[in-house]
Amino acid sequence: MNTQQILEIESKHSAGTYAKQPLVIVRGEGASLFDADGVEYLDCSSGHGVANLGHANPKVAEAIYKQASTLITLFESFPNDKRAELMKKLTSLVDGLDRVFLCNSGTESVEAAFKFARLSTGRKNIVAAMRAFHGRTYGALSATFNKKYREGFEPFVPGFSHVAYNNIEALEQAVNEETAAVILEVVQGEGGVHPATEEYMQAARRICDERGALLIVDEIQSGFGRTGKMFAVQHFDVMPDMLTCAKSLAGGVPMGAVLISSKVKNLTPGVHGSTFGGNPLSCAAALAALSVIEEEDLPRQALVKGAYLMDKLRRIESPLIREVRGKGLMIGIELKEKVAPYIKELQERNIIVLNAGMTVIRLLPPLVITYGQIDRLVGVLTEVLAVEPELVEA
C-alpha cells in the first residue's frame, strides 16, 4: 500500500478518537522515525514518553523474539520464570516497595492503585491535583483534572477532589480521616510540564502519614530514567506507598505496574486481576529494557543531556517564549500564545513534538538522543520561534 491508501484506510475505519497526522510512519531507529517515503523525522515525543530507549532497540527486539518462540501468554495464577525475574528486578528499584501488581497500561495501574488504597484503608476519598492527568478510564479520569477529557462522561466515580499543585496549605486542608489516598505526579506532564518542589513532596508524605492516608506517586511518564533518576520521586528522598508506572517499562511493549509497600493491606486472591498482566512476552521485554537502562546509564544521560538542552533552549532569543522548565529530558517550553501552529511548523521541518495544554510545547525525546540531534532540534526551534507571532498562520 502507498501512503495515500494507508491514510484513506485509517480515515475510513478508525473510531475517530484520534486526530490523525498526515504522516505514515513505518520504521524507527534510535531517536529517529521514518515515513513510508523514507523521510527521517527526529522524534521528540517518544510516543508520549514510551520510547525512552529509542525505537527498535536490538536487545529488546531479541528478547521479544526469543520469548515469543517460547511462551507468550500465561495467567499470573501460574508462576513463570520471566515474571519472577521481573518482579525481583522491579522491587529492587525503590527501597520499601517490595510487591508488584503487573498490568498492561498506565491507566490500569492507576485504577489498581485506587482499588488497593480503598481496600487497604477502608476509606473512599482520593485527593488529586489540579492540572493532573492520570488516564482515561473512569477511576483514572475521575482523578484527571482537565475538563476537555472529562466533558460528556459524567457522572464520575464519587469521592475524588482536586487541590492546587505545589500548594502545601491546600493539601493540608484537603486530606483528612476520610482520605484513602493522595495521588501526585512528580512532574505534571500533560498538565504543562510542572515539576513538584522538594518541600511539596516531603509535605505530602508527612500529611499522609499524619492523617493515615496512602501516598500514590504517578511515574507513568516520568519513570525509568526520564528525569535523571530511575524514578522522579527519588530526587526528593520520598518513599510513596504505591508507585504507578507503565509507558517505557517494557521498551514499547504494552505493560504497566504498581509497586506496593507493606503499608498496603488486604490484597488477597481475587480482589483484582488482569488477563494479560505479567504475561511472559511483556516481562521478557521489560527485563531487556531495564537491562539497557542500567547498562547504558540512561538516567545519567537524561540528566546531562537534559541540562544541555535546557541551557540551549533558555538561550533562544524569542518574543514568544514565556518560560522553559522541566527535569531531565522532560521539558516544557511555555509560549505566550497557542502552540498548535508552531508544532505544525516543526513537523513540516521534520521535528515531532507534543503539546501540554494550549500554550506549552512538550519535549520527551528518547534518552538515547545524540548531542548532534539535540543541536538540530534547538536550531529548528530557534528558527521557528524567533519570529514575530503574526508571521505564523493560526
Distance CA 60, CA 64 (A): 6
Q: What is the pLDDT of residue 387?
A: 66
Distance CA 246, CA 253 (A): 10
Half-sphere exposure of residue 124: CA atoms within 13 angstroms, side-chain side: 3
Is 166:187 a contact under the CB 8 Å cutoff? no
| Domains of the chain in sequence order | 58-295 (3.40.640.10), 297-337+346-359+378-386 (3.90.1150.10)
The DSSP line for 298-348 is HHHHHHHHHHHHHHHHHT---SSEEEEEEETTEEEEEESS--HHHHHHHHH
State CA 162 to chain mean position distance. Answer: 20
Locus of grid cell 518513599: 239
Name residues whose C-beta falls within 8 Å of residue 146's C-beta, 6 or more positions apart in sequence: 131, 133, 190, 191, 357
Is 165:196 a contact under the CB 8 Å cutoff? yes
- Whole-Å CA distances, 311 to 66, 227, 308, 374, 376: 42, 15, 5, 11, 15
Q: What is the pLDDT of residue 386?
A: 85
pLDDT tens digit at each of 394 positions of the chain: 899 999 999 999 999 999 999 999 999 999 999 999 999 999 999 999 999 999 999 999 999 999 999 999 999 999 999 999 999 999 999 999 999 999 999 999 999 999 999 999 999 999 999 999 999 999 999 999 999 999 999 999 999 999 999 999 999 999 999 999 999 999 999 999 999 999 999 999 999 999 999 999 999 999 999 999 999 999 999 999 999 999 999 999 999 999 999 999 999 999 999 999 999 999 999 999 999 999 999 999 999 999 999 999 999 999 999 999 999 999 999 999 999 999 999 999 999 999 999 999 999 999 999 999 999 999 999 999 986 544 444 4
Lookup: cell for 245 = 508506572
Is 293:357 a contact under the CB 8 Å cutoff? no
Distance CA 263, CA 158 (A): 24
The residues facing 128 across adjacent strands are 162
Q: What is the pLDDT of residue 388?
A: 55
Reduced to 3 states (helix: H, G, I; strand: E, B; else coil), residue 41 is strand
Locus of grid cell 537491562: 291
Q: What is the pLDDT of residue 299?
A: 98
